[in-house]
């Protein structure tokens, strides 16, 4: 039997990573389990996130799903096509039901995107992605930051001028009304994060 070359052999990968003119169609055949984003024509490989990062993303998705509209679909790690040259992968997203049965999802079908900040993504999440999501017309952009003393939430709401307006950093127990009533217990998430970090430090000191 003749061996089929892997789509992502070193030569092919190096070629893709060296280009800055890629489109969403160019990367459509990449393996589904490859973690990447397409940023304005450039392919960027994403590191595997820390478990706590994924845990917070799941908590947000579950909170959004609790009172979700029958016309919406809540998902984690959704690929979102923004124009022809960008395909981002928010940690969680709310998608119109009619647009949920495809990948990547089209930006016009996305109601909310959520990014959980990691040390390697602070600038991208707070600046670059905010502009890209706003330009795509996505109504709500939530940024969860677990890196500081407390886990914080920043809600960006798309204004009539096409620019996000931020309502500042939320801490503690947060009650939101958009896209529907959502309750987030940031105090509980902070306490759990601190517990995990304390156990890790204790294990490292032995």
Residue 6: its pLDDT value, please?
A: 47
Written as tens digits, the pLDDT of the chain (206 aa) is 333 344 456 667 788 888 989 999 988 888 878 889 998 899 988 888 889 999 999 999 999 999 999 999 999 989 999 999 999 999 999 999 999 999 899 999 999 999 999 887 666 666 788 999 999 999 999 999 999 999 999 999 999 999 999 987 899 999 999 999 999 999 999 999 999 999 988 887 65
Residue 1: its pLDDT value, please?
A: 33
Residue 67: its pLDDT value, please?
A: 96
Residue 205: its pLDDT value, please?
A: 62
Residue of 47, 19, 22, 50 lying closest to 34 (CA atoms): 47
Q: Which CATH class is domain 51-205?
A: alpha beta
Which residues on adjacent β-strands are paired with residue 45?
36
Q: What's the pTM? A: 0.88
Domain boundaries, the chain: 10-45, 51-205
DSSP string, the chain: -PPPPPTT-HHHHHHHHT-S---TTTTTTS-TT--EEEETTEEEEPPPPPHHHHHHHHHHHHHHHHT--TTEEEEES--EEETTTEEE--SEEEEEGGG-SSSSEEGGGEEEEEEE--TTTHHIIIIIHHHHHHHTT-SEEEEEE-SSSS-EEEEEEE-TTS-EEEEEEE-SEEEE-SSS-EEEEHHHHHHHHHHHHHHHHHHHH-
């Amino acid at each position: 039997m003749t061996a089929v070359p892997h789509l992502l052999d070193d030569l092919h990968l190096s070629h893709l990573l060296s280009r800055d003119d890629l489109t969403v169609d160019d990367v459509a055949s990449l393996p589904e389990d490859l973690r990447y984003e397409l940023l304005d024509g450039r392919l960027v490989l994403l590191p595997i996130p820390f478990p706590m990062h994924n845990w917070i993303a799941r908590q947000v998705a579950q909170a959004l799903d609790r009172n979700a509209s029958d016309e919406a679909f809540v998902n984690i790690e959704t690929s979102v096509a923004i124009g022809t040259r960008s395909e981002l992968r928010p940690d969680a997203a709310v998608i119109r039901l009619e647009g949920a049965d495809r990948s990547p999802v089209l930006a016009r079908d996305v109601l909310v995107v959520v990014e959980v900040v990691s040390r390697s993504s602070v600038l991208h999440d707070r600046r670059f992605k905010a502009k890209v999501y706003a330009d795509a017309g996505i109504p709500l952009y939530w940024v969860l930051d677990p890196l500081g003393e407390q886990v914080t939430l920043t809600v960006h709401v798309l204004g009539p001028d096409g620019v996000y307006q931020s309502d500042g950093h939320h801490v503690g127990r947060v009650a939101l009304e958009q896209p529907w009533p959502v309750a987030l217990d940031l105090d509980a998430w902070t306490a759990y994060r601190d517990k995990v970090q304390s156990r890790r430090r204790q294990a490292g000191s032995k």
